[in-house]
Chain A
């Protein structure tokens, strides 16, 4: 028995405890969000509250993926501490590749009105053409390794046949992006604006707001 959860689980009967632990596993281990239909602990408000407490103790939180599906993600305060300490941060090259996937599959389609909603999922793949320059500068093998790394982390998902004229897979954002909290999604959107258009009025507004909100020493 794990001491971190004892006081939450011990008062429960076997059925409720099993429902709670199963839902915890589905959220934390599953590659896709879990449906309320299959998991009573997600449907029942009291059990869901306990589930949120379990997640909270491990630096995690419930994230609603859509009307009936849930997943888990890092708490915003914990994500900030992890990033500040450089723990679990994407290496620069993998970060650059993921940024390109997000720009071509989400940011540009969203700016053109082809993608709506506050989500980092997309049906518009970033194709090998978009990665040609990275491949030329850093080599095909380095790019292949980066995609392998990002696929294993669930950050990108390959799509076959999107660019028949070019060798290699095309990519859309992976299921791990669904784990972002609303605050994290907004921060990611702002960071992409700062990266893609640092001289735009929108970027200036974001920078000013962040400086105003930054705690003073």
Chain B
């Protein structure tokens, strides 16, 4: 088995999903996601049998804790609601949404927090999710897209995520789409 693949896998472990020119050959065992522009693609490792960290719960083992897990999870769910507009299609790349729309859904999930608290919680969660490539956040343009890591969700988990998306409120700003 190629040492080249070993280095690609290790690099993806160290840096997260890797953005490379589409001319790059796909290393063994990695998932390739081509961006809309067609010039760049993302490479993600495919674990054996698509096993996810959720298996650790059955073993009562801990994974590295996420800071503010509740808020971070809600912001990811809200972004999913805004960006995964056709839940029968693949989750990635989805459709671009806006920071305002995502935070409006978060506001409905956590009512009564007030705009300042919501902004602070939302900003922290968006930063964490962007850093780990769950989301792609462009603060200058006020745009939120799903990050390549969402494509690592295995098919069996997508059914539950579709259901979750249907139950979440739409943005009240008038640009959401029902799935």
The interface of chain A, by Cβ under 8 A from chain B, is 1-5, 9, 17, 20-22, 24-26, 28-32, 34, 38-39, 54, 56-60, 74-75, 78-79, 81-82, 85, 87-88, 148, 151-154, 175
Q: A82, B14: Cβ atoms under 8 Å? A: yes
B10 near A4 with CB under 8 A, answer no
Whether B28 lies near A29 (C-beta < 8 A) is no
B6 to chain A, nearest CB (A): 4
Closest approach, in angstroms, between the C-beta of B41 and any C-beta of chain A? 18
Q: What separation, in Å, do the CA atoms of A78 and B11 have in the docked complex? A: 9
Q: Are B11 and A87 in contact (CB under 8 A)?
A: yes
The interface residues of chain B lying within 8 Å CB-to-CB of A28 are 47
B15 in complex: contacting residue of A17, A21, A87, A154, CB < 8 Å: A87
Q: Are A31 and B63 in contact (CB under 8 A)?
A: yes
B11 near A82 (CB under 8 angstroms)? yes
Q: Are B15 and A88 in contact (CB under 8 A)?
A: yes
B65–A2 contact, CB under 8 A? no
Q: Is B61 a contact of A32 with CB atoms below 8 Å?
A: yes
Q: Which of B52-60, B80-88, B138-146, B169-177 contacts A (4 or more CB under 8 A)?
A: B52-60
Task: List the B side residues contacting A38 at CB < 8 Å.
Answer: 59-61
* Min C-beta distance of A36 to chain B, whole Å: 13
Is there an interface contact between A26 and B61, defined as CB atoms closer than 8 Å? yes
B63→A58 contact, CB < 8 A: no
- Say how far B48's CB is from chain A's closest CB, in angstroms: 5
Task: Contact check, B51 vs A59: say whether CB atoms are below 8 A apart.
Answer: no
B1 at the binding interface (Cβ < 8 Å): yes
Indicate the member of B6, B50, B53, B66 with the most A CB atoms within 10 Å.
B6
Closest to B28 in A: A4
Instruction: Flag B29-65 by CB within 8 Å of A: 1 or 0 each.
Output: 1000000000000000111111111011001111111
Known: A2-B29, A31-B65, A152-B67. A56 touches B6 (CB 8 A): yes
B14 near A34 (CB under 8 angstroms)? Answer: no
> B9 touches which one: A25, A59, A88 (CB < 8 A)?
A59
Task: Give Cα distance in the complex from A85 to B7, angstroms.
Answer: 11
Residue pair A2, B50 in contact (C-beta under 8 Å): yes
User: What's the nearest-Cβ distance from chain A to residue B80, in Å?
Assistant: 22
Residues of B within 8 A of A39 (CB): 59
**B151 adjacent to chain A (CB < 8 Å):** no
Q: Which residue of B lies closest to A28 (CB)?
A: B47
Instruction: Tell me whether B5 is interfacial, beta carbon within 8 Å.
Output: yes
